[in-house]
Chain A
Amino acid sequence: MKKKLLSVLLSTAMVAALATGCGSSEEATASTEDTATEAAASEDTAEEAPAASGELIKVGIINNDPNESGYRTANDKDLKAMFTEENGYDASFAYSLKNDEQITAAQKFIQDGVDYLLLSAADTAGWDSVLQDAQDAGVRVILFDRTIDADESLYEASIVSDMDKEGETAVNWLKEQGLSEYKIIHLQGVMGSAAQQGRSGALDAAVASDGWTLVTQQTAEWNAEKAQQIVQSVIDSGESFNVIYAENDDMAKGAVAALDKANISHGVGKDVIVMGFDCNKWALEELLAQNWNYDGQCNPFQASYIDEVIKKLEAGETISEKVIIMDEKGFDAETITQDDVNIYGI
């Protein structure tokens, strides 16, 4: 009996330990609460001194956890830099990777009476009722980075990346290289993700229409080590190839490690063309050093677009096209500059 009690106690302790163990999400909840109180606090100050800060536009920003990826960190930094008091904003932030926590944060922001709700939803579903509440309360909603499955009337604008276009830009660049033959190693991201589908789709279409050869088409799941093994395997089997199309920078790096090992030259004017995506700073530096050939951007800098939309709405204009697709560049190693690395590197 005693033993049983002990084991029950231990398992409770364990669950508690596990709960604290789930680092990022727990932290995210905590920060949600923090920001909620912060939001309340800032409301107080706003009420106390309406004359001084009456012009400030109150925005509530709900984002995914900035620790999720380099992309998200850059995204968060960009938003924080834009929505400051100097720029006329009174911003509160809430972070979570979980939809229900994000919805709770949204309700809180609506109660706090924000003017704008900026949302990068963790999940596409489940937002209808809370967005309806927002509309009833006169809070205007702007989506960024991710779309949701809700009626278009519920939000003012949606600022997103077009993954298909990212793929097309890259493939068009590859076409322009005018190689006599295209023998491609295609390293895919996690199958089914939006980025993978967009970036693979364009290449698959070009392979079908232009008669390019895929030496191998494998998913390395965004993982450098897996990419290295896959490319190593192609090298070991003695097949020839002249293009590496990796759907993110990490996989391109893994591929290049395998090339270096086998003394296969890569980069501008060399045997193998190396292509990556995401524009990590270190990757753009590889471009600058001409070790890689191309890097496609997945633009995390939505803040200026959001700012523009809010300015328009404040001026009483209407947004005619609700879905706003951001400009996304593709960098060519021959034309990239140090400034590009500094500005666009994430």
Chain B
Amino acid sequence: MQTNEAKKSSASSFFMKIVKNQCFIPLATLLLLAVFNLIADPSFFKISLGYNSAGNPVLSGFLITILDSGSELAILAIGMTLVTAATGGQDISVGAAIAISGSVLLRVLCGTNSRPETLQAPIIVAFLVSCVVAMLFGAFNGVLVAYFKIQPMIATLILYTAGRSIAAWINNNELPVISEPSFTYFGEFIPGIPIPTPFFIAVACMIIIGIVLKVTNLKLFTQAVGINESSSRLNGLNPAFIKVLSFVILGLCVAVVGLIKVSRISTINYSVIAKDIEMDAILAVALGGNALSGGKFNMAASIIGAYVIQFLTTTLYKFNVQSDALPAYKAIVVILLVVISAPTVREAFSSMTKKLKVKEVA
């Protein structure tokens, strides 16, 4: 009898452990969406190997599309999670910053001629320049937030408003087009490898941030600053520096996404590139169950959150939902998820289960 009871309680505590894990909600959503698609139309999961017009093998199917498009969001989610944790606010200038870094990238590649026959600089050089520029803009946001104590959302509103105009100025409002095929490798496929490159880039970013969080004290310091700024200062940390650093890291993420986005179509449209992507990135953080008011964070949950959002988008496209109605559907799902995963609701839920347990024991 007793052993049975013990088993039961250990099973339930194991179950509770899973539920309490921050990754539970985004993973459960992913599973739910997957099951929904499985029932509605199993062909959703079909992956086929074909060849693209250049004759290279490529995998195609809805799942590949999700991996492909979701990767951009996953990369942004990394930076956005850090900013959220350190400052308790969000950066809404991400889309505009992508326009800027993409514009810089093309400017360096094209030189003064907007339609070059050959690239004017190696891609890696152009990418590094765009990284530096994006990190500088990140630092600009960071300084406004950390030293001038402006609300992050308000501070980044400046770049949100001005960014796309700046991006247009960088190229004298011309629309450079790049005809070099190797430039498309970053947004599409590397010849011979049938998996979309953005996924590899995202994985590389995840590994790097994973190592950084493991090896350095970045996670601890960021959380400390996010939870209580003054006590972290008393403990010898420099909260302003940590905040600026988080924005600079987000800037780096922005440059990487800028490369992918520009590479996809080999050109840029300043007014629409990466439009509203900041909202999806913030959603990814929220879906991951991270408190938007800062403090503790879980990077893996945010990244899964990013793929969940893309899964949802792709599902809605598949069912031919009008694309201008799409944000409304997304909003409904997201409101539900965010409410469920909100720390207050989770606390209420856990206290309720505790009460139930007490009753059971009694």
Residues of A within 8 A of B (CB): 10, 14, 17-18, 21-24, 66-67, 69-70, 73, 191, 216, 218-226, 228-230, 232-233, 235-238, 250, 253-254, 257, 259-265, 280, 282
A233:B53 contact, CB within 8 angstroms: no
Further contacts, 4 of them, CB under 8 A, given A70-B175, A236-B61: A191-B324, A229-B313, A230-B323, A233-B317
Q: A233-B65, A253-B267 are in contact. Are A262 and B261 (CB under 8 A)?
A: no
Contact of A22 among B51, B162, B168, B324 (CB under 8 A): B162
Contacts of B269 in A (CB 8 A): 222-224, 250
- The count of residues in chain B whose C-beta lies closer than 8 Å to any C-beta of chain A is 50
What is the predominant secondary structure among interface residues of chain A facing chain B?
helix
A23:B165 contact, CB within 8 angstroms: yes
B61:A21 contact, CB within 8 angstroms: no
**Contacting chain A: which of B15-23, B150-158, B219-227, B332-340?**
B150-158
B131-167, CB < 8 A from A: 148-150, 154-155, 157-159, 161-162, 165-166
A218:B177 contact, CB within 8 angstroms: no
Contacts of A225 in B (CB 8 A): 261, 264-265, 272-274
Q: How far is the CA of A221 from the CA of B267 in the complex (A)?
A: 17
Q: How far is the CA of A28 from the CA of B29 in the complex (A)?
A: 48
Contacts of B177 in A (CB 8 A): 282
Is B60 in contact with chain A by the CB < 8 A criterion? yes
B173:A257 contact, CB within 8 angstroms: no
B65:A236 contact, CB within 8 angstroms: yes
Q: How far is the CA of A14 from the CA of B148 in the complex (A)?
A: 10
In the complex, residue of chain B having the shortest beta-carbon distance to the beta carbon of A248: B269
Contact of A235 among B54, B60, B155, B271 (CB under 8 A): B60
In the complex, residue of chain B having the shortest beta-carbon distance to the beta carbon of A218: B323
Q: How far is the CA of A111 from the CA of B149 in the complex (A)?
A: 48
A10:B150 contact, CB within 8 angstroms: yes
B265:A228 contact, CB within 8 angstroms: yes
Q: How far is the CA of A137 from the CA of B162 in the complex (A)?
A: 40
Is B24 in contact with chain A by the CB < 8 A criterion? no
B272:A221 contact, CB within 8 angstroms: yes
Q: How far is the CA of A18 from the CA of B169 in the complex (A)?
A: 18
In the complex, residue of chain B having the shortest beta-carbon distance to the beta carbon of A224: B265
In the complex, residue of chain A having the shortest beta-carbon distance to the beta carbon of B165: A23
Contact of B173 among A18, A22, A73, A262 (CB under 8 A): A73
A257:B148 contact, CB within 8 angstroms: no
Is B322 in contact with chain A by the CB < 8 A criterion? yes
B247-294, CB < 8 A from A: 261, 264-265, 267, 269, 271-275
